[in-house]
Every structure is written in C-alpha cells, then in structure tokens.
Chain A
Amino acid sequence: MTEPLVVAEAVEMSFAPRGILARGRPVRAVAGVDATVARGEALGVVGESGSGKSTLGRVLLGLLAATGGAVRFDGQPLPKPGSNAWRALRARMGIVFQDPFGSLDARRTIGAQVEDGLAIHTDLSAAERRAKLTEMFVRVGLDPQRLGAYPHEFSGGQRQRLGIARALATNPDFLVADEPVSALDVSIQAQVVRLLADLRRDLGLAMLFISHDLPVVRHLCDRVIVMYLGRVMEEGPVAEVFARPSHPYTRALLSATPRLDPAKRLSRVILPGEPPSPTNPPSGCVFRTRCALALPACAEAVPPLREIGGAAHRVACIRADEIN
C-alpha cells in the first residue's frame, strides 16, 4: 500500500517570543500531532479557539516550518519555506481562508487574483490562462463575465467561491480549508459546503477541513480529529466519533452544540473555568483541569491515543472505556 498523500508524524509547532527584550516561554500551538490525509480523503479538524487547529493546517501546507516532528507530502519531506522546491510545491497545495473579506486583496481585480497561481507556476499564454480562469469560475459557480470586477462587488458567499477558485486554479492535490464557512450565513454555508464536496469528488482532492462547527464536519468529512490545546483528544471516522464520542472533551463539545431539537443532544456539560494558557499547559492530560472525570492519575502522564472499539477510532483518555 502506498503512503497517504500527507503524513504528519509527531508534529510540534512552538512560537518563541521574538524581539531583543522578549522574555517568557514559547507557545506550543501544536504539541506532537500525528495525522494523515489520503488522496481524495477529507479530514476534519475540530477544536475551539486556541486548540492549534489552524496552526496544524499551516504546518501541513508547509507555510510554517514545524519545530519538531516531520511532515511528508507525496512521500517527500516538506522543503524549507522559501526554497525553490517549496515554491514549486505551492502549485500542488491550496488554502481557503475563513474571512471572505480579508482574504481577498481589495485593490486588485478578482480575475488577476485567481490568475496569480497560473502566472506564477505555468507558462500558459494570457489567452490560455484566461480560458482556464473562465473554466475555474464556471466550476465554482461564478459568472466568468465578471473577471474584471473588484472583491467589494461580491457577497460573502461569492467571495468564498473566489477564494476556492484561487486555491484550485493550479489543480492542487491537497486543499486546506480553514473555517471556510464560519463567517457565512447559514443559508449560504450549505451552498459552499456542497461546492467543496462536489469539487473534492470531481477533482479527487485531499482536503483538510478545519472547523469549530462539528455538524458541518459531519457532512463533509470522512474522518475527524478533535484537538484541545495543541493535542489530539480523539480521532476516528466521522460517523463513529459522532455516534460514540469517547473523550470527555468531545462529549462536552457535542453537548454544547445547539441542536434544533434540544432533546436530541447529549445532556449538557458546562466546562468549568477557562482553557489553560498554551505557554503553561497542565501536566499529564491537558484537559484534566476542566474535566469532570479527572483522576489524580490524569496529572501524571500524557495519555496516549489508543484504539477503542476498532474501526480506527482512537481516544487519548485513560477513562475512555468507562464513558460509553
């Protein structure tokens, strides 16, 4: 069996305080995460702000060089950011951002922005690029007549389509979508999620879908990893994790997600206190300070991810067996 397209092994990402007078500990945004994304697979990454999910996405893309562990793309280690090999690799990876307003340059036409990737990575003539651009616009459901328009002429949902078109113009194999629908109205969210699902199927894209919204992940992804304070708490096939959430944090997250029929959700778990600071995480299990099930043993060692109930469902909790 060949290796998955993207393989991350024990990836660490720490941000050291910078500047001459800077003091203090580094922030460990990602603390030893294993992840794989196979060709054509969609992996969801779920967690709240500060969980390190966006940082993980940027490390897998190679936009940030991991401070520990290794990331391989298509069997090769990721080259150093800024090198020629790294730059060439950009054509094979794309990113879609959360903010439909900040992610497009307000001062350039949308055509020019979607065209950037082609201009950088291909030798296509202007006419060929134009044809490709038109094709891309049609694919994401935008009117190709409007190539010369500026971003402010478009609605939030249309801008997200533009962001997707920009990311996909060079036919990448791997797409990181960082909360692409979080800023959109619910009626538009479903349109964009549908578009991403269609593109993934039609283009055979491998996708990392970062979200704080569990229900969205459920419909788009094959597998999901749940992160808290830079670590993976639980991972597994989407249906499995949603049906049998086995980490107290996953259960808290699911129970907090409002449902149209509140009777259908898990009885609500309100997390006490606040998330600990990533500069000074708790010993052992990082979630134990807010966990209702924490034991003294939870403070001693970082619980390893272990398989539970088969089907690649893994949980980092020593009491997982008692939960379900």
Chain B
Amino acid sequence: MRKLWIPGAVVALIVLIAIAAPVLPLMDPIRQDVANRLAAYVPGSPMGRDEFGRDVFSRLIWGARSSLAVAFASATIAAVIGTALGLLGGWFRGVVEFLAIRGADVVLCFPPVLLALLVVTLLGPGTATLILVLSVLYLPGFIRVSFAEVLSARSQDYVEAVRALGARTPRILLRTVLPNIAGPVLVQLSLAVASAVVLESGLSFLGLGVVPPTPSWGLMIRGARATMEQAPMLLLWPCLALTVTILAMNLLCDAVRDVADKRGGGGAKKLRLVDRLLPGLFPAPAAPQPLLDVQGLTVEIATPGGIIRPVEDMAFRLDAGRTLAIVGESGSGKSMAATAIMGLLPPAARVADGVARFEGDDLLRMPEPARRKLRGGAMAMVFQDPMSSLNPVHRIGDQVAEAIRAHRDVPAGKAAAEAVELLKRVGIADPERRARAYPHELSGGMRQRVMIAMAIANRPRLLIADEPTTALDVTVQAAILELLAELRRAEGMGVVLITHSLGVVAEVAEDVVVMYAAQVVESGPVAEVFARPLHPYTRALLAAVPDGDIEPEGIPGVVPRPDAWPPGCRFAPRCGFATEACATPPPLEEFENHAVRCIRWRELSA
C-alpha cells in the first residue's frame, strides 16, 4: 500500500491542478502581450512569457488540461474496447478472434502519423478528432495484450474449475478471467496514457491536434522551438511537465498492479548479500579419505524478515562407488544443501559455516575458478527438470559435445563422435540421428538421459542427482534409476541422490540421510534405518508411504516455515511422542554408522 502513496499523490496533484485551472488565480493563457514577448520574468509570470507574450505558467497548467484530457480519454476508451475485444476473441476464438486480432493487425499496419493525417483530413483538427485517432492507435495494444492473457488464463485449472461448476460465460469472464488479466492491462494502460501524452504533443506540434490558441504541451513545444535560441527555457517547462507526468503515471500503474495482485510474494524481495566466509576449524579427515565429507554445513538467506537457515549443521560422508540418498519433504533443505556443495547457491544465499571436502579439498572455501574446473569435470550434477536445464535452441549432440570441450581440449569432430558414444551409453536408441534433435523433440525420459550423458561426459567421480526422476512416469523412472546404478557400478562414481521418495531410496541407495526442517534427523545404512527407524519422523514418514497392505497414515500438521522453526525439536509439534523436554533443541547423537536427533530414541525403540 505504501508504494501507492507517492506516485498516487503526484498524479492526483497534477490532475487536480489541471481540473482546477479555471478557478486558480492564473493569468489568461491566451491573452497576448507583445511588449513582454519572450520576457524571462515578469511580475506575476514566474516562468516568463512566450513568443506572443502569453504567460507560460498559466499556459502550462491550462495545457495540462487538454493534454491530460486527451491522453486519459483516449487511453481509457482504447482500454475498455480493446480489453473487451481481446477477452471475447480469446474466449470464443473462431470468428470473433479473427475479427478482433486481424482488425488490430490492420490498424498496426498504418504508420500512426499517416493515420492521424487521414482522420484529420476527413474530420478536421480538434480535440475530439485527436481522441478518436489516439484511441484507434492504442486499441491493438490492448486487444493483443488481453487476448494473449486470456489464452493463457483459459487453460488454467481454476478457470476449468468454475466452468466445471456450471458458471455462465459472462460470470467466468468478469469474475475469474478479468481480474487475472488486469495486471498486464493496467501496465498497458499506463504505457498508453504516457505515450498518448507524448503523441498528443507530437501531433499538436505538427498542427494535427489541438487547435491554437488553446494551450497544450505539444503546442507549447512547437512554439518554443521557433525561438529556441532566444529563450531556451520556454522549451524546458513543457518538456519537464511531460516527463514528470509520464514518470508518475508509470510508477502509479506499477504500484496499482502490485497492490491489486493478491497472489502474494509478489515482487522480488530485495536481499542483502553479505559474503563473508568464516575459516573452518575442523580436524583433518580421517583415513581412508572419503570421496565427499560434509561437516556442519549451514546455509543462510537474508530476508527482509531476518536471516533464515534453510540448511543447518548438515553432515554426511560418501565413499567412492556408493550411493547416498538425502531424503526429506519439500522445504527440508535437501536441494539447498546440494547446491551449496556444488557452489551453485542463488545469489541471496550464502554458506555460513561448515566444510565440504571433496577428495580432501574444501569445496566451500575453494576459489570459484578452481570450483568451476571441478564442476562438470570431476563432479557433476543432474537436475529435476531436464527441459529447463537444456538449451532449447541447440541440438543435443552439440550440447553434449560442448560439455566435453568445456573440460577437455579435444577437437570438435572428436567431441561430436564422443557425444554420440555417450548418448548410446545412456541408452538412447539411434544416437547418431538423435544427436541432431532439439530438446523439444525428445520425451522427458530421453531428455533426462541426455542430462545424464552430459553429467558423465568427463567421467566424474562424484555425481549429485537432484530429484532426477520426480517429473517422470514410474516406468521411465525405473529405467533411469537402473541406468544410474549401472553407471555407478561401471565407473565407480559416488552418487548423492536427492529425493522425496522413500521407495526410490530403498531401491537404489546404500546410505540415507533423513532431513526435516533444515536438520539431519537420522542417518545410517538404508537397510538399518528402514527396518528399525529410530527417529519418530522417520517412522512417521515410512508409515505415510502407501506400500503393502497397511493403510498409510498421514502426519498431522504441516512442515514449519523456515522463518518459524519451532524452538526445540523441530518435529515436536507434529510428533506423537513429544514431551516437555522436547522444547530444548536435541543434539544429533552419533554412534557407529547411525545418527539420530531425538532425546527419546532409546526408550521409543526399546
């Protein structure tokens, strides 16, 4: 709401002054006084006099009347008619669409000035003609914008939902579709008003708009141009008025759109980036050296509401040739931990503490060039959504070859041949032909295979797969998991698999880390953890999976938000075994290869 105040006040002030022009104690804007021609200052005329000795200040305010009236009237007319046409065209398609859209295209074909000349010749110059011309000019913009928005809105489930409820078309259009397209239309309106003010000035300047001696900003600029050398200030005032008005209009429309938008989280939050890394004081890794050893990893994000920690004190070890699964529900911090290790955190987030030793070298404190050399080389990552990770305008063979050449100095021809070999390796049939395909020509499973081919292009020793099969069908998922397991065996890679599916963990991983609300709550070998879960959350999670004959049990409540972690044990509010003692944060108890963060695990597992 606060955003509305300043631009709103400025626009209101401008409009108010323009409306109040007749009652303000101003000089007559059209009374000529040749004696004071081009005077820089005359008592009563703070901005001086123009080429006919008329008061500039008074003309500026009276000019706002005609300029703004023309701009608002034409933009509003265009908005109402254009939105209605776009709405109907987008909803009914067919003939209505043809008429609205093609009609708009025809208007767009005319150069604006030519169209204005034509209309002025037919109707004669004047304010009404100008409004007509400008509304016709802005009509196509509104038709186009609202048409496109309606097309995307009509395919939304919430529109389908009201349709499924049997709502009549006008109700759907007015109550569901219109509010959802209002944002872009408002922006279009602000642009139209602003450019109408400019066009009005331009057309009046050419003598096609407002008829002298009625003052308008365009006419003032036109007049001032002739005497630019004697009185440059005369040009400044109307230009300044134009600039301020347009800026205020744009700001106001932006603010209105943000306030009207109830989607929440609207507008990117401005985040403070403090990049200071504390030196880690951890003992040297014990021999034999694990492939990846993460200790005390903590990630912070500065938000306007304070610092949140999406990952806190995370620890795990991965040996070469093994698969470790990080499992947790959305918001548990599992993906954030992986991106932190890869050095791919979004700019707003930073590693606040911890070490992540990859073959002994701390990834978190490594200079970015060194880390970049490792990424895609010795360690690689596969993401959930292969479509957004592949470049849509390049052939997949070229993209795989590019991944090879980014790390190894091989000639282009050899890289291309190797790319085909890799595509074959990940089970793509007819790899020579598929290498020439674009990402959109492949199915989701095929795209994920291409991503894996890129990831293994340089024989990585560590592969981090972030929900690699979540977007895929189960039969495709099975094939991809099989492929990963096969590659791991053949190449001796260590794999970190991030997933929310406990079934997938059971199928492919040897070790598991269970995360809840940024913390590790339990970790250990999969067979052990799944057979005898020690933490109540792990237990509840396993019971929630529909599997076998026992009916799945939900966990009451929801995962807490990162800005409102419970003070003690973070699972306590949803835990059936919570006691008063759970109000203090439990430590992660480690023994042999198992770890658990619960003060009651001994009595509960007894």
| Chain A residues within 8 Å of B, Cβ to Cβ | 48-49, 61, 63, 86-91, 93-95, 97-99, 102-108, 113, 116-117, 120-121, 150, 152-153, 155-158, 163, 166-167, 170, 185-194, 212-213, 215-216, 218-219, 252-253, 255-262, 264, 268, 270-271, 273-275
- B575 contacts partner chain A, Cβ-Cβ < 8 Å: no
Q: Which of B163, B264, B541 contacts A153 (CB 8 A)?
A: B264
* Min CB gap B576→A, angstroms: 13
Among residues 342 to 385 in chain B, which have CB atoms less than 8 Å away from a CB atom of chain A?
none
Chain B: CB-nearest residue to A86: B166
Decide: B474 and A215 in contact? CB cutoff 8 A.
no
Decide: A105 and B176 in contact? CB cutoff 8 A.
yes
Query: In the docked arrangement, what's the CA distance between A270 and B544, Å?
Result: 27
Among residues 447 to 494 in chain B, which have CB atoms less than 8 Å away from a CB atom of chain A?
473-479, 481-482
| Chain B residues within 8 Å of A, Cβ to Cβ | 156-158, 160-168, 171, 175-176, 179-180, 260-265, 329-330, 429, 443-446, 473-479, 481-482, 500-504, 506-507, 530, 540-542, 544-548, 551-556, 558-559
Decide: B547 and A260 in contact? CB cutoff 8 A.
yes
* Min CB gap A134→B, angstroms: 19
19 residue pairs A–B, Cβ–Cβ below 8 Å: A87-B166, A87-B168, A89-B166, A90-B164, A99-B157, A105-B158, A116-B167, A117-B165, A120-B171, A156-B330, A167-B161, A185-B330, A188-B555, A190-B553, A215-B545, A215-B547, A253-B474, A257-B474, A261-B548
Query: In the docked arrangement, what's the CA distance between A156 and B367, Å?
Result: 39
Sorted nearest first, the 8 A-B pairs with minimum C-beta distance are A90-B166, A258-B503, A152-B264, A191-B554, A190-B554, A215-B546, A103-B157, A256-B478
**Contacts A107-B179, A107-B261, A157-B558 hold; do A91 and B166 have CB atoms under 8 A apart?**
yes
Decide: A102 and B158 in contact? CB cutoff 8 A.
yes
* Min CB gap A19→B, angstroms: 10
Q: Which of B162, B545, B546 contacts A218 (CB 8 A)?
A: B546
Contacts of A213 on B, CB cut-off 8 Å?
474, 546
**Contacts A106-B264, A260-B502, A260-B503 hold; do A63 and B164 have CB atoms under 8 A apart?**
yes
**Contacts A107-B262, A185-B329 hold; do A49 and B164 have CB atoms under 8 A apart?**
no
Among B481, B482, B503, the one with the most A-chain Cβ atoms within 10 Å of its Cβ is B503
Decide: B162 and A116 in contact? CB cutoff 8 A.
yes
Contacts of B474 on A, CB cut-off 8 Å?
48, 212-213, 253, 256-258
Q: Which of A106, A152, A188 contacts B554 (CB 8 A)?
A: A188
Contacts of A98 on B, CB cut-off 8 Å?
157
Known: A258-B507, A260-B506. 18 other contacts (CB 8 A): A48-B475, A87-B166, A88-B166, A95-B160, A99-B157, A108-B179, A113-B161, A120-B165, A152-B263, A153-B264, A158-B558, A167-B164, A187-B540, A215-B545, A258-B501, A259-B503, A260-B542, A260-B545
Decide: A216 and B546 in contact? CB cutoff 8 A.
yes
Contacts of A86 on B, CB cut-off 8 Å?
166
Query: In the docked arrangement, what's the CA distance between A275 and B472, Å?
Result: 13
Contacts of A157 on B, CB cut-off 8 Å?
558
Decide: A189 and B552 in contact? CB cutoff 8 A.
yes
Among A99, A157, A260, the one with the most B-chain Cβ atoms within 10 Å of its Cβ is A260
Decide: B558 and A155 in contact? CB cutoff 8 A.
yes
Chain B: CB-nearest residue to A62: B164
Query: In the docked arrangement, what's the CA distance between A155 and B479, Å?
Result: 33
Decide: B552 and A190 in contact? CB cutoff 8 A.
yes
Chain B: CB-nearest residue to A256: B478
Contacts of B158 on A, CB cut-off 8 Å?
102-105, 113
Query: In the docked arrangement, what's the CA distance between A251 and B180, Å?
Result: 45
Chain B: CB-nearest residue to A105: B158
Decide: A273 and B179 in contact? CB cutoff 8 A.
no
Contacts of B481 on A, CB cut-off 8 Å?
258
Decide: A186 and B167 in contact? CB cutoff 8 A.
no
Decide: B164 and A93 in contact? CB cutoff 8 A.
yes
Decide: B541 and A187 in contact? CB cutoff 8 A.
yes
Contacts of B444 on A, CB cut-off 8 Å?
49
Decide: B475 and A253 in contact? CB cutoff 8 A.
yes
Decide: B264 and A186 in contact? CB cutoff 8 A.
no
Decide: A273 and B176 in contact? CB cutoff 8 A.
no
